[in-house]
Amino acid sequence: MTDKLIPLIDDWPFPLFKLDDKDSVIWTNQAAQEWLSQSLRQMEGQSIWDILSTDPDTRSISEKSRGESAAITSRHILVKTSAEAEEGRLAHLTAYPTQGGTGLSIWFAGREPRSTKMGGHIVTGMGRMIAHELKNPLAGIKGAAQLLRDDVETAEGLALIELISSEIDRIRRLADRMEKLGDEDPAATERVNIHEILRQARRVMQSANANVVFDERYDPSLPHASGDPDSLMQAILNLIKNGIESAGVDGEIRLETSFRAGVRGGVSSRQLPIQIRIIDNGPGIPKDMLPQIFQPFVTSKPEGQGLGLALVSKVAAAHEGLVEVQSIPGRTVFTLLLPEPLEATS
């Protein structure tokens, strides 16, 4: 490479490597060294596949590039390093012929953020239809629950009836505002303890899926979110339900919260530091479906209607938040990012 290009390539914000014909590292840029927490001197002469852990097909990418004298790209590949968390990161890897060796570039795939914009008239019409279908049976279910209360004597039974009653009330409130689902703003905005919503959602879903293993990993220092608790509850229920349907009745669902800096969303470009992740160990989402996964009526399930993730997307947009998805076989992560309240109060 020419002396004029060296500073430009070295400042490139994504990892770049130059490999010899045995895939040993000849050169790396600064981004690669910072990502791996190793200097060029430490990596020089090592096989790139001893430094990076990935699947066997991906490890042949440089050999294929040399054999075909062409650029070869592998997309959405899980790459692990000793310096990162155990799950690694999704990335696009490109191997390409270069003077005196093979180039390898790595572009981090992120979490597949998807557009949350849908036709308001479609969503509003869908909301009216669902609200009408929901309201009619709710009163009967609530009355039946109240009658059952008189015949139940155990604390566990009473707790379940209380759960049924609270869910009926929440669904009724949700049905009342389904017609406004196409609006940009939630019907009510308040300080929301997202951990209370997650625990309630877990109880609701576990009561109907007793064999599913839940792993809850919450950041206790996380501030309150800004939003409508009922619509956020429905969005999280939909994400957990989606994970259970993917992983199966004996699957595992992990619920996580953490603080994530540097992400903005919504028309006002608010900071979105509240990160909620629902992770399942199912077979993953087909790659060709990922770009449309949040659109209405898109589903990979034979009996699915394709409305659950569309609602999640709409709730995220209404809160000026974002919803993201990252999926490989055995691990699918849905991430909901929300803003803090505009005015923090004690």
Domain boundaries, given as residue ranges, for the chain: 5-108, 120-338
Return the SS3 of 223. coil
Q: What is the pLDDT of residue 278?
A: 96
Q: How does residue 22 score in pLDDT terms, banded at 50, 70 and 90?
A: very high
- What integer is the mean pLDDT of 287-305? 68
Q: Give the C-alpha separation, 85 to 188, whole Å.
A: 38
Residues 136-151 have pLDDT tens digits of 677 777 778 778 887 8
Q: Give the C-alpha separation, 175 to 296, whole Å.
A: 18
Pick the CATH number of 5-108 from 3.30.1370.100, 3.50.50.60, 3.90.920.20, 3.30.450.20: 3.30.450.20
Any residues with CB less than 8 A from the CB of 205 and at least 6 apart, and which?
212, 237, 240, 241, 244, 253
Q: What is the pLDDT of residue 186?
A: 54
Q: What is the pLDDT of residue 344?
A: 47
Nearest by Cα to 325 from 243, 270, 259: 243
Model confidence at 208: pLDDT above 80: yes
Q: What is the largest CA-CA distance in the chain?
A: 85
Q: How does residue 291 score in pLDDT terms, banded at 50, 70 and 90?
A: confident
Residues 216-253 have pLDDT tens digits of 999 999 999 988 888 899 899 999 999 999 888 789 99
The amino acid occupying position 216 is: E
Any residues with CB less than 8 A from the CB of 187 and at least 6 apart, and which?
177, 180, 228, 231
CATH architecture, range 120-338: 2-Layer Sandwich (3.30)
* Phi, psi angles (nearest 5°) of residue 161: -65, -40
More reliable by pLDDT, 59 or 115: 59
Q: What is the pLDDT of residue 120?
A: 44
Q: Give the C-alpha separation, 288 to 278, whole Å.
A: 21
Q: How many C-beta neighbours within 10 Å does residue 69 have?
A: 8
Any residues with CB less than 8 A from the CB of 23 and at least 6 apart, and which?
47, 48, 49, 62, 63, 102
Question: Which pTM was predicted?
Answer: 0.54
Q: What is the pLDDT of residue 58?
A: 83
* Average pLDDT in the chain: 80
